[in-house]
Amino acid sequence: MDLADAGRECRAAVERMLGLHGSSGFRTADVLQRHWRDFSVASRHPHLNPYLAVESFGAALVERF
């Protein structure tokens, strides 16, 4: 669950940087746009999905008790 929280916070930080950079950040030649796109795709990895993390955590709790 901590990984999912960290992924969500990092993704929000990149979104904020892009918002502060302005609309020119969406040009395909802009380095920030490339980082934003790459991080957006990478942050959708199943290990960073908060719903799957909660499901795994719940399954671990059920097995434990």
Q: What is the pLDDT of residue 16?
A: 93
Distance between CA 40 and CA 8 in Å, rounded? 10
Q: Would you give per-residue pLDDT tens digits along the chain (65 residues)?
A: 788 888 889 889 999 998 898 888 888 888 989 888 998 898 888 888 888 888 888 898 898 77
- Domain spans in the chain, listed from the N-terminal domain onward: 2-64
What is the pTM (predicted TM-score) of this model?
Answer: 0.70
Q: What is the pLDDT of residue 46?
A: 84
Q: What is the pLDDT of residue 29?
A: 86
Q: What is the pLDDT of residue 62?
A: 92
